[in-house]
Amino acid sequence: MHNFPVKLPLRIDWSEMDLFGHVNNVTYFKYIQASRVNYWELSGLAGSFSKTKIGPILLSTSCQFLTPLFYPGNIVVECRIEFIKNTSFGIHHRILNEQSQVAAEAHDVIVNFDFNKNEKSAISEQFRKAAEDIEGREFPVS
């Protein structure tokens, strides 16, 4: 089992509560998005997009809600790469509550996209290398 090397601490905001007194399910996806974008920034994907107009686009995301979150509180969203293929990669996220319990798990599939040509593009070696450096493990070309 691989660890989750990228951790993003976030504060739960009162506005994220729903009628039933816990964090609304839609907000979990906001936390997951923040984690995803954080990884893109750490790996250089966000920066290279501004130069090339080639970058990540979300193909799918899913979330399994395990335990409710409440205000006031803090969470940590941690993530790791699940796989890197030719034109796509996956990210596994975990949202931890203040007791370090897993409140939710999410999985994203990201496609590398060339916005100039409006088509998928190969994952760059720069991203693969950055992910390997961040994660401390290799991602063989598959």
Look at residue 29 and tell me if it is in a domain. Answer: yes
In a domain, 142, yes or no: no
Give the type of residue at 32: I
How many domains in the chain?
A: 1
Question: Phi then psi for 24, rounded to 5 degrees?
Answer: -65, 145
- In-domain check, residue 110: yes
Q: Is residue 103 part of a domain?
A: yes
The CATH number that applies at residue 76 is: 3.10.129.10
Nearest-10 Cα torsion for 17, 20, 22, 26:
-60
- pLDDT, residue 59, reads 98
Instruction: Assess if residue 141 is contained within a domain.
Output: no
Residue 115 within a domain = yes
Asked if residue 99 belongs to a domain, the reply is yes
Q: In the predicted model, is pLDDT for residue 115 greater than 90?
A: yes
What's residue 103's pLDDT? 98
Average pLDDT score, the chain:
95
Please state the rounded mean pLDDT for residues 120-135.
96
CB atoms within 10 A of CB 90: 16
pLDDT of residue 108: 98
82 lies in which domain range?
Answer: 6-133
Residue 117 belongs to a domain:
yes
Which residue did the predictor score with more confidence, 50 or 88? 88
pLDDT band at 142 (very low <50, low <70, confident <90, very high): low
